[in-house]
Amino acid sequence: MTAPEAQETVEDPEQIKRETGLVVRGFSRKRLNLIPILQKVQGKLGYLPRAAMTEIAAYLNIPDIDVYGVVTFYNQFRLNPPGRHSIRVCLGTACHMKGGYIALDAWKRRLGINPRETSPDREFDLDTVACVGCCTMAPVTVVDEKPERQVDPTRVDGLLLAFENERKAREKEKGEKS
Amino acid sequence: MKKAEPAAVAAAFNEIKKKAGARWGNLWQDRPVILVGAATCGRAAGAIEVLDTFKAEIKNRNLDVPVIEVGCMGHCYAEPLVIIGKPGQPPVCYNHVNPVIAERLVKEYLLGDNPSPEFVLAALEPSEALPSFQDFPRAQYERKIILKNCGHIDPTRIEHYIAGGGYAALVKALQMSPEEIIEEVKKSGLRGRGGAGFPTGNKWQLCRNARGRPRYMVCNADEGDPGAFMDRAILESDPHSVIEGMIIAARAIGSRYGYIYVRAEYPLAVERLDIALRQARRKKLLGNRILGSDFSFDISLFQGSGAFVCGEETALIASLEGRAGMPHHRPPYPAIQGLHGKPTLVNNVKTLASVRHIINNGADWFAGIGANGSSGTAVFALAGKVVNTGLVEVPMGTTLRQIIFDVGSGIPKGKKFKAVQIGGPSGGCLPESALDLPVDFDSLRGAGAMMGSGGMVVLDEDDCMVEIARYFLEFTQKESCGKCTFCRLGTKQMLEVLTEFTRGEGKIEDLDNLYKLAGEIQAGSLCGLGRTAPNPVLTTLRYFRDEYRAHIELGRCPALMCMHLIAYYILPHKCERSCDACVGSCSVEAISPNKKRIKVIDQEKCVKCGKCLEACPFQYNAVVKLTPPSEVPAR
Ligand SMILES: Cc1cc2nc3c(=O)[nH]c(=O)nc-3n(C[C@H](O)[C@H](O)[C@H](O)COP(=O)(O)O)c2cc1C
Ligand code: FES
């Protein structure tokens, strides 16, 4: 499961260690708990930083490389912090054939990043998914857990504009507060 | 294992069933009920808003009408779907419901007596005033067994499942010996729905006879075909049917512990399974001494982390053990030596969902459905260029033509059928001439495809066969776990060749190279991923060779799909000076008017998204696609 939207990511190494420690202690020190632990830690931190991985390896008493190997094997795990908004372009068969790759191009062009990357301002992270089960609405992009239908380059611009307005409103609010 | 005391078990269950029946047995007997389809497909189309509207309306008007969230009814093309049942009348299914329509339905049908025919998809039972599902041409071909409950029961209420006959098979199985259960499943002819079609009863027998304790029971819900969602729909809509099947299988093989390996990308399925497991435990249908018998069995959920290869059973087991999901050589088969080296039964979601029907209705009944050595029904996720996308369940042996044209209502927009992709990344693309093949485990193999786990994507004249082959190969290449060389490097080379084709850079000798590579990958790969990866390429080469040649020899994409081989062009004599619809539609500002106010596309800037073609008003129809791009006249 992906992290809930607009979650604050944790980046301070001390805090990462502390939070990871809290999670691992809910599990017994068995190797077979590795994947559930990783899922839970990522759920907490939004990603799996190095400090978290070494902490987990130490707890399970396995080499760091084993943890790293598992993390990089599975698509679900991410090594860099997520953006505020998650953009998942469906490249399932139906979506691909109806132009999912055109939508992906548009996202890449507008955000200036590749799939599995986060934009430098940490507003967006981009990724692809296989069929999300709403092929009727192809091509689909899942934006913050919500599948958007028939996403073409114009729709990409529309969605981004909505986020931009939201961001401005947020900054204005911040400005007024301080 | 000795038989449990039958009378006590049956009595314990009757108590549960009586209570459930009182509340859920005759749902629309004495008051109206609203069912809202809110599986992932429904939610994507706005089912939650519809659900909330109904709830608010019912509350504001102080009505005694339960609003129930159900799963997927299979008619995904018509989502969001709502069923309204009123006492004494056939329940009515409404399609494309939105909050405004929901409000009207409450006013006009619930409070008034007007069933609002303009929003009706069909009545669930024959009705005088409205069309009914039985009148649909597809009713003649469909036979819902596994999907029967989907969209009609509340997946979060075990009582609803029980009231509809759920867990009766478990009670029956608890009174049978494990050998009797296995015998029954063998006799039914049930074969694994996960793709390979291995006879289920035989697998159970193998596992039961295997030495080593404990034995594990695993449900494979890692559905990885990138164009399919049957298993997810079942888990979201009727989770107990899978759990009941697992418990029966566990009793047959003598297992006390099981896992459901479900994709983490299916959060709703995970949530509903979790609820279902807890409810089953509370009712003593799961856990220690089930229904007071001497049989104990429990299930944990394990979330798969998004790797296609983990659907392969040995990789799945590696993943359960906390390692990277890499397959290993079989034998030993998991049934003999699986999780932690112990006998492990791995079955697909649909296989397990079939089990209770076999126990309830008998092996002969099940064996009587279907044909050609494949008994029972096949479930497909029908998608692509077909009118009725959604879930389809038909008896084995139904032909592709019947599924696509009678159940699916054919190709939209008057386009021409070109091919059907069946079996996902392991399957193939079959042309018109193969449409009369029956769908079962063996018939499709001769044509180069396979039934796979149930993805069926229909392609029309606008779909390029080279591109679809490239698409699937890109998928398998990315998902190859990298353990064996043929799969890792072979698929990569094939992908490179295909990519060149789609760019018009291929050479004709490459066609032979592709065949050679395909043969080597098929022969040299460790698991099914590599062994079947060339299928999409081989079938398209076999049936659509001319299309490959056009790409290679002429640099043309006849379907006008491959981006590098097409160009958009505005026909000057058709372009209307006063109109600039296309200019506004272009998101990269590649279109501008020339001196005569005729619009011209800057080919350098164009990203070939096709928006201008859509935007151009139909009375002008001035935008065309040209292939090869050199067809565009020089300015
Ligand atoms: C690459 C690959 C992916 C697979 N994916 C799935 C899957 O998603 N779901 C599934 O049930 N079986 C899948 N299988 C088949 C399983 O290995 C196994 O045969 C099946 O789960 C057995 O269950 P069954 O006998 O009920 O079909 C896959 C096989 C391969 C080679
Ligand atoms: S392929 Fe995109 S939702 Fe199915």
- Asked if residue B122 belongs to a domain, the reply is yes
pLDDT at B444: 86
Of residues B570, B133, B187, B191, the one with CA closest to residue B348: B191
Please identify, among B366, B391, B422, the residue that sits at the C-terminal boundary of a domain. Answer: B366
**Tokens read off for B91:** 């329940």
Residues of A in Cβ contact (< 8 Å) with B44 = 132-134, 137, 140, 146-147, 149
Tens digits of residue pLDDT in A103-129: 999 999 999 999 989 999 899 999 998
- Structural domain for B509, as ranges: 466-554
User: What fold does the segment set A85-177 form as a domain?
Assistant: Glutaredoxin (3.40.30)
Q: What is the mean pLDDT of residues B478-486?
A: 88
Scan residues 562-591 of B and list those with Cβ closer than 8 Å to A.
585, 587-588
Residue A7 has pLDDT above 90, yes or no: no
- Who has greater pLDDT, A142 or B26? A142
- Asked if residue B144 belongs to a domain, the reply is no
Q: How far is CA B303 from CA B292, B316, B547, B552, in A?
A: 31, 11, 42, 44
- Asked if residue B277 belongs to a domain, the reply is yes
- Asked if residue B8 belongs to a domain, the reply is no
- Who has greater pLDDT, B41 or B402? B402
Q: What is the mean pLDDT of residues A62-90?
A: 92
Q: Is the domain of B457 the same as that of B482?
A: no
**Partner residue facing A135 (CB), from B389, B609, B611:** B389
Of residues B276, B281, B285, the one with CA closest to residue B247: B285
Measured distance CA(B470)–CA(B492) in Å, rounded: 11
pLDDT at B482: 86
- Asked if residue B21 belongs to a domain, the reply is no
Q: Ligand 2: does its nearest atom lie under 6 Å from the Cβ of A129? A: no
Q: Is the domain of B103 the same as that of B172?
A: no
Q: Is the domain of B376 the same as that of B258?
A: no
Q: What is the mean pLDDT of residues B465-477?
A: 94
Residues of A in Cβ contact (< 8 Å) with B77 = 136
Q: What is the mean pLDDT of residues B159-179?
A: 96
Q: Is the domain of B243 the same as that of B189?
A: yes
Measured distance CA(B256)–CA(B540) in Å, rounded: 47
Chain CA centroid to CA B364, Å: 28
pLDDT at B3: 52
Residue B73 C-alpha, separation from nearest chain A C-alpha, in angstroms: 13
Here the CATH number for the domain that contains residue B497 is: 1.20.1440.230
Here the CATH number for the domain that contains residue B589 is: 3.30.70.20
Percent of chain A with pLDDT over 70: 94
pTM listed for this prediction: 0.92
Q: How many domains does chain B have?
A: 5
Tens digits of residue pLDDT in B117-145: 999 999 999 988 899 999 888 989 999 99
Percent of chain B with pLDDT over 90: 79
- Asked if residue B6 belongs to a domain, the reply is no
Q: What is the mean pLDDT of residues B475-503?
A: 92
Looking from the CA of residue A94, the nearest atom of ligand 2 is 1
Please identify, among B444, B463, B482, the residue that sits at the C-terminal boundary of a domain. Answer: B463
Scan residues 154-213 of B and list those with Cβ closer than 8 Å to A.
none
Residue of A nearest to B457 (CA): A94
Q: Is the domain of B425 the same as that of B399?
A: yes
Residue B30 has pLDDT above 90, yes or no: no
Residue A78 has pLDDT above 80, yes or no: yes
Q: Is the domain of B260 the same as that of B361?
A: yes
Least confident range of A8-22, B138-152, B430-444: A8-22
Here the CATH number for the domain that contains residue B445 is: 3.10.20.600
B456 CA from centroid of ligand 2 (Å): 12
- Asked if residue B18 belongs to a domain, the reply is no
| C-beta neighbour count of B144 within 10 angstroms | 18
User: What fold does the segment set A13-73 form as a domain?
Assistant: Arc Repressor Mutant, subunit A (1.10.10)
Q: Is the domain of B446 the same as that of B474?
A: no
Q: Is the domain of B289 the same as that of B237?
A: yes
Tens digits of residue pLDDT in B202-227: 999 999 999 999 999 999 999 888 88
Strand A124-129 and strand A85-90: the pairing is parallel
Spell B52-70 as b/e; 16+ CB within 10 A means b. Answer: ebbbebbeeeebebebbbb
Number of Cβ pairs closer than 8 Å across A and B?
151
Domain ranges for chain A, please list them. 13-73, 85-177
Q: Is the domain of B208 the same as that of B298?
A: yes
Q: Is the domain of B543 the same as that of B584?
A: no
Measured distance CA(A18)–CA(A23) in Å, rounded: 9
Residues of A in Cβ contact (< 8 Å) with B319 = 35
- Asked if residue B3 belongs to a domain, the reply is no
CB B430 within 8 Å of CB B447: yes
Supply the mean pLDDT for chain B. Answer: 93
pLDDT at A10: 75
Q: Is the domain of B550 the same as that of B575?
A: no
Which residue of A65, A131, A145 to mutate against B (max B Cβ within 10 Å)?
A131
Measured distance CA(B208)–CA(B604) in Å, rounded: 66
Q: Do B463 and A149 touch (CB under 8 A)?
A: no
CA-CA-CA-CA dihedral for B93, B94, B98, B103, to nearest 10 = -90
Here the CATH number for the domain that contains residue B106 is: 3.40.30.10
pLDDT at B387: 93
Q: Is the domain of B452 the same as that of B472?
A: no
Q: Which residues line ligand 1 (CB under 6 A)?
A: B 192-196, 198, 220, 222-224, 309, 311-313, 346-348, 351, 453, 527-529
Supply the mean pLDDT for chain A. Answer: 89
Tens digits of residue pLDDT in B368-395: 999 878 999 999 999 999 999 999 999 9
Residue B335 has pLDDT above 60, yes or no: yes
Looking from the CA of residue B528, the nearest atom of ligand 1 is 31
